[in-house]
Structures are given as structure tokens and as C-alpha cells.
Chains A and B, each alone.
Chain A
Amino acid sequence: MNQTHLTAVDWLIMILYFVFVLGIGFALKRYMKTSKDFFQAGRALPAWICGLAFISANLGAQEVIGMGASGAKYGLETAHFYGIGAIPAMLFVGIFMMPFYYGSKARSVPEFLRMRFDEKTRALNACSFAIMTVFSSGISMYAMARLIQVLHVFDAPFMALGLPMGYIFTFSIVLSAIIVLAYIFLGGLTSAIYNEVLQFFLIIAGFLPLVLLGLRNIGGWGGLKAALPVAYMHEWRGVTHASTNPMGIEIIGLGMGLGFVLGSGYWCTDFLVIQTAMASKNMDSARRVPLIAAIPKMFFPFLVILPGLLAIGLPTPHTTTVTHTVNGAIVRDTTVVPQQIEEGRGLVPAKMNPVTGKPMYMADGQPLLDYDMATPNMLLHFFPTGILGLGLTALLASFMSGMAGNVTAFNTVFTYDLYQSYIHKGASDRHYMAVGRWATVGGILLSIATAYAAINFNNIMDTLQLVFSFVNAPLFATFLLGMFWKRATGHGAFVGLIAGTATAMLHHGLTLPIEAHPGIHGGWITVLHGYPSDMAQNFWGAIFAFSANFVVTVVVSLFTKPKPESELVGLVHSLTPKQPVLHDQWWKTPEALAVAILLVAVGLNIYFA
């Protein structure tokens, strides 16, 4: 079951995708005349393209594999990453924050911080952001190479050419790096955005039939419910106390930590997604971008979480011997299932110790499951050759566009916020565009280095949430105060950010999820407090980081001199003139769209409570 037998038609589809990806890059090359074209897509793209790119930028490894893994591990509760962790923040950034991002004409999020606060706040944010994008892109790359290896995608061609199998990991990394590099090098942000939209539709094309087949096999929604423990199928059940829900997180940690701090910290401040909105053609479009993105986002749990639930709910294959008589002779057909799969649950295999080749067990004797394989195994289980090629292409596309979003965010921040600001001021536009192209090369090389260093965690989602809680969680307090409190000062923001990140690290060093060993999972200073799960630890860490930043920024601001109000017009809510009303009908406004989305999101949550 774990063997992938790709035939010519699968390769054809995969190659066709690569041809189009590169073709789009080449077709866009002639439009790249100024650095604005390259870094900001000329600020000329329609809202629907930017909106789909907005959610696709986030639809990398952490989403497709990680959400499937979380679905298999925690059940429908994973959908909170959407309902609480994304939708409200996306509406908030569209309605309340985009007027300042887009209206300020800042070219990047760190540049906005320089306009609103000061140079050092920008430098701090630009540096931490640059490191984070490289890290994320490296994780995408690593996940992709590992998946290619595990699914044996390149085994047959490698065998045919007589190349050693050990090079598949490296070959996968180099191949994805070259493709992403080529299309960004040629077409800049436009190329990245176009490919993100392409990938958005590919994911639907590859995963919708998977979910439909999976549901049909298990007997529809009712069959899935019957196959799984009750807690798995409810988003909200048992959420009042950590011990009564699969994720081990209670309502305050969830609402505050995921919803208010981590969700907003990511969707409202991360330049990775904000860059797509900033590339749209006018203010009205820019505000609509996150809202348009929120519409498919509401329904994505069905595409990315459900495969995980289905994988764990389907019957576990066992070695079976069927005895039957053919012409009087007794024939025994034995289907041998590897131990890795037999020890797993459903289609989720057990984790194998790479040294001994035996399954790994948890403290309570249960096998440790390799949740990251939930979604890929679903593909292999249900898809015959042909559509399997499409499914694998969708997976590869999601990894590459996840990388691409990070790489374009990196090259912009590096060029505008680090190179132009501190290394070489006042050069020609042409020069900065060349620097941007070479920053792309540098960013990808650093990602490759990170990919080799990203092998220590078993759940990619947790890794990313941890990084976000260090860097992004305190950040939202800075933006909230910056945009809605005119008294906030640069010194306050700078000290607050450092205090926030320091608090996040301190919290991580002092707490530990139960059943984890001190080290990379926390408790590396000393263990003062234990959490029921690593998720709970992340969410609470984010709450502490946000609060520390908020309090420190306010206190320091009150003791330091604020910027004159004239310099803050267009950057702070109370000092910015109201937007002229563009639409005659109230229902055409972004606000009306936001309210409609909110109602549907609440409806979905009630239905699946």
C-alpha cells in the first residue's frame, strides 16, 4: 500500500504543471521593469487573484500535511485553526488594518513600522522576519523532500538511471529550489502570486475527489461519526476543560491564545500574507483581499482536515490469509501488511525507529503514530494512477508555493528594509531589482541549509506554531497599539517587542507539556509548570508574550516622547480621515461582506459544535 507505482500519465501531469509554472515566470519576465513590478507586482492585481494568493501563501506544508496530521491526531477540533485562528483575524485585517497598510504606501510590513514608529523597531522586525521566512521555507522544503522519499516518487527513475537512493532527499530539495528560484527570479511577486492561485485550484482539484471517495468508502458523514470516538467529531465539545478534549486545551487558551494572539499575529502582521493584499490595485481591492480569502478558508477544513479524520477512521489493514478452492486444490492467498501499517491506526502508520526498524511506543504502550502520513496515505489508498499524479502534483505545488511566498517576502524585506536602509542607500532602482533577484538566490540557499536542520520535530504544525509564538505573538500588540493608540512611541514599541519575545522564550524554557522531555519541547531552564499538551503550551506562551509586549509598550510609551500628530496621519486610526464611500449600495461595501462571512463562520461552528 505504501509503494507508489507512478506511470507515464502521472509523470505527464507532473511535468505539465512544472512547464506551466516556469512558463508563467517566463511570460511575466518582460513586465518586470521596475523594482515596484518585481517586489510589489506593480500594485496592479485584481482582488480575487490576491485573495486566493492570500490563503494559498499559507497553504504550504503546515496546512496540507500538518492539518491532515492534526485532524488525525486531534479530530475536528483542528478546525479551530480556521474558525478561531484565521477567519476573525482575516476579517479584522481587511476591515480595520488594511487602510493603514495600503494607505501608508509602505512597501513592506517592516517599512510600515518605520513610518509609524522608528528605525530600530523596523530593523528588529525586519531581521526577525527574514529569519522566520527562511526557516518556514526550509521546513516546507524538508517536508517535501521527506515526502518524496517516503512515497518513493523518484525511486523508479533513480533505479533506472542507476543512481544511489540516498541522493533522493537532496535531489528533491535541489529540484524544488531550482523551480521556485527560476519563477521568482523571472517574475517576482507577480509570478509567486500567480503560482499560488494556480496551486489553490490544484489543491481543490487534487483533494476534493479524495474526500469524496473517502467519505463514500466509510459510509458518508454518518459512517465517519460511527468509526471515530465522539470527541473527534465535535469542534467544541469538552472545550471548557483541558482534560476533556483531544487537544488538551481549554477555552481561554484557545480563544485568547489561538484566536486573539496567534491568529491575529499571523494573519494581521505577517508580511508573507500581507504582501499579497498590498499588491492589489486599489484600497478597496486591498481591503477585500483578506475577506475574499476568508470565504474559501471557511470551507478548507473539509479539504485538508477531513482526509486526516478519514485516514484514522478507516479500518486498519491486517495481514490476511484467504483460503479458497480452485479446481479441488486448496489455495491460500496471503496479503502481507508491513508491521509499520499493522501497528498503526486506520491508514496512519506507526512511527518506526530508523535504527532498529521496529515500531516506536509511547509511555503507555500505545504505538507512536506517524500522523504526517495520514493525508499522503489517503492519496495512495484511493487514487489509481492518473489521478494519483494529479494528487501528488497538488501536494508538490502546495509545498513549492509555500516556499515561494516565504522567498518573495524574504527578498522584499531584505532588499528594502535591510539592504536599501542599512547597506547601500540611494542606488538606482535597477540596482535594487538586481539585489532582489540575488536575495532570492540567497534566501533559497539559506532555506536549503534550514531544511537539513529541521529534522527534530514529529509534527510540523507544532514547530511552526512555536516559531510564531516567539516572533509573531508579541508583534500583534505592537500593531494594535501602533494603529489605534496615537500615544505609542518607537522606544515603547522596540522595548515591548523585545520583552514580548523574551517572555515567549522564557515561558518555553520554564514549562513543559506532559510526556515530553526537557529540551526542544520546553523546560530547558527548569520545569515550573506542566501543560496537558504542546498545543496548550504554545497558546499560553503566546498569551504571555502578547501581554508582556502590550504592558511594556504602554509603560515605556508613557515615559517617552510621542511623534508629532502631523507625522501620524494615515498611520493611526484617530488621525486618519475617513475613507470616502465608494459604493452607492451598502451591500457592496467590504464591511457588508465581512459581516456575511462572520455569520456563515458562526453558523458552521454551531453546526459542527
Chain B
Amino acid sequence: MNLDLRIPMGMMFTLVGAILSVFGLVTMGNPMYERSLGINANLDWGLVLLAFGLIMFFFGRRGQKAALLAPPEPESGDPVRRGH
């Protein structure tokens, strides 16, 4: 595997989560939250996404490291038609 998807994905959700949380903190008590039934949807959901992003990123980094340390995987499945 060349690029572990969990790394960019974790980064993206961490950033989105951070942006939403900060924005939620700043706008706490703003009347716009009447829309979301009085819930600060930005802060609450931002924190969820932040946690999700960090976990994803952590596992991605661990996976990438493990892949670099491990001996190259044998060509499983199709030894014959490699590269056509």
C-alpha cells in the first residue's frame, strides 16, 4: 500500500471538527441555534468529528509505520500477470 488513506482522511476530519468546535464556542448562545432546536450543533458535532479524525489519523500513522517496518508483502493473488 502506497498511501494510507486514514492519514489524509483523519487530517481532514480533525480540521473540520476543530473549525466547527471553535466556531461553536465563539457563537455559543447565538439565536441561530433555534434552528437546531437550541442545541449548539456546531460545538457538539464538531467535537465528535474532532475525536473521529484524531482516532483515524492515529491508526493511519500506526498502519503506515507498520507497513514500512514489515517485509514487503508477497504478491498475493496474481503472480502471473504482473504488469501485463
How would you classify the secondary structure of chain A's contact residues: helix, strand, loop or mixed?
A: helix
Q: How far is the CA of A337 from the CA of B22 in the complex (A)?
A: 34
Q: Separation in Å of the B15 CB from the closest CB of chain A?
A: 6
B13 at the binding interface (Cβ < 8 Å)? yes
On whether the beta carbons of A36 and B9 are closer than 8 Å, the reply is no
B58 at the binding interface (Cβ < 8 Å)? no
On whether the beta carbons of B77 and A282 are closer than 8 Å, the reply is yes
With A209-B45, A386-B42: A20-B8 Cβ-Cβ less than 8 Å = yes
Q: Separation in Å of the B59 CB from the closest CB of chain A?
A: 11
Contact among A13, A43, A390 for B77, CB-based, below 8 A? A43
With A213-B41, A383-B36: A49-B15 Cβ-Cβ less than 8 Å = no
A602 at the binding interface (Cβ < 8 Å)? no
On whether the beta carbons of A24 and B19 are closer than 8 Å, the reply is no
Contact among B36, B46, B80 for A382, CB-based, below 8 A? B36
Q: Separation in Å of the B34 CB from the closest CB of chain A?
A: 8
B37 at the binding interface (Cβ < 8 Å)? yes
Q: Separation in Å of the A370 CB from the closest CB of chain B?
A: 22
Q: How far is the CA of A43 from the CA of B13 in the complex (A)?
A: 27
Tell me the B1-36 residues at the A interface (CB within 8 Å): 1-3, 5, 8-9, 11-13, 15-16, 19-20, 23-24, 27, 30, 32-33, 35-36
B49 at the binding interface (Cβ < 8 Å)? yes
On whether the beta carbons of A105 and B81 are closer than 8 Å, the reply is yes
A12 at the binding interface (Cβ < 8 Å)? yes
A586: B residues at CB distance < 8 A: none
B83: A residues at CB distance < 8 A: 34, 36, 429
On whether the beta carbons of B77 and A31 are closer than 8 Å, the reply is no
Interface residues on chain A, size class: 35 or more
A23 at the binding interface (Cβ < 8 Å)? yes
On whether the beta carbons of B16 and A383 are closer than 8 Å, the reply is no
Binary flags per residue of B53-84, CB closer than 8 Å to A gives 1, else 0 = 00000000000000000000100111011011
In this complex, the member of B5, B45, B52, B84 whose beta carbon has the largest number of chain A beta carbons within 10 angstroms is B5
Tell me the A5-36 residues at the B interface (CB within 8 Å): 9, 12-13, 16-17, 20, 23-24, 27-28, 31, 34-36
Residues of chain B whose beta carbon lies under 8 Å from any beta carbon of chain A: 1-3, 5, 8-9, 11-13, 15-16, 19-20, 23-24, 27, 30, 32-33, 35-37, 39, 41-42, 45-46, 49, 52, 73, 76-78, 80-81, 83-84
Residues of chain A whose beta carbon lies under 8 Å from any beta carbon of chain B: 9, 12-13, 16-17, 20, 23-24, 27-28, 31, 34-36, 42-46, 49, 102, 105, 190, 194, 197-198, 201, 205, 209, 213, 216-217, 281-283, 381-387, 390, 429
What are 10 A-B interface contacts by the 8 Å CB criterion?
Answer: A20-B8, A23-B8, A34-B84, A201-B13, A209-B45, A213-B36, A213-B37, A282-B76, A383-B41, A384-B42
